[in-house]
Structure 1
């Protein structure tokens, strides 16, 4: 189980860290995404900070399980919310799929961490 937990944390980190940093940096593509979702760039930066903090919590959670479980739960909720926002703004379901998959992966991390 430990290898699966580590792999899940690393995969989530490799995906979410660059996205979170891009949101914090307010790269043009992220400003466009924020506008599409009717969010201010400042609020979108907060989402980026939550993603980066969640990644840090996942990785630190490999040595502090309670922190990892908390971070994984937060990321699962954040990504589920992102999928809902896509659908609420009229995006086709395929556009919400990556966020939904990330939510499931974060939930899997939580499940793996809880069994150790």
Structure 2
């Protein structure tokens, strides 16, 4: 599921870049809010690398519990930033999925820590 989510996010980010190129003549009020939520284009490679590192950490964490906890904390922090970015641009629709993933990550941190 996380791989599907990463693919979905990469597609959305890619479409946001194309959308920015098409909408240079439009005002900020007519642009899609999620196109602005990604922030400056220079940060996109870092966001992609953070997602890939989180996914690899979660997969390897199946066999090595401390890495699973660290990766889950990283993923939770990533989505806390996503919630903040979406709230900053007023994208309430994009805030909900990120907020749900923050809650799920928090639950997983608690469950995995309890098993140790």
TM-score by length of 2: 0.72
SS at match of 2:62: coil
Taking CA–CA contacts closer than 8 Å with sequence separation of 6 or more, which of the two structures ends up with the larger relative contact order? 1
Counterparts in 2 of 1:38 and 1:107: CA distance versus 1, 3 Å: closer
Please give the per-residue CA displacement for 1:6-43, whole angstroms capped at 9, x wherever unaligned: xxxxx4x24443246x27xx62x142488513623231
Q: Which residue number in structure 1 is paired with residue 103 of structure 2? A: 104
Kept in 1, the 8 Å contact 2:38–2:44? The answer is no
Give me the whole-angstrom Cα distance separating, in 2, the residues matched to 1:81 and 1:112: 23
Aligned-pair Cα RMSD in Å = 2.3
Give the alignment of 1:5-84 within 5 angstroms: 11=1, 13-19=2-8, 22=10, 27=14, 29-31=15-17, 32=19, 36-37=36-37, 39-84=39-84
TM-score by length of 1: 0.72
Please give the per-residue CA displacement for 1:60-106, whole angstroms capped at 9, x wherever unaligned: 111111101001001111101101110111222x3200001111111
Gaps spanning 5+ residues in structure 2: where?
20-32
Count of aligned pairs: 100
Gaps spanning 5+ residues in structure 1: where?
1-10
Give me the whole-angstrom Cα distance separating, in 2, the residues matched to 1:16 and 1:77: 16
Kept in 1, the 8 Å contact 2:76–2:102? The answer is yes
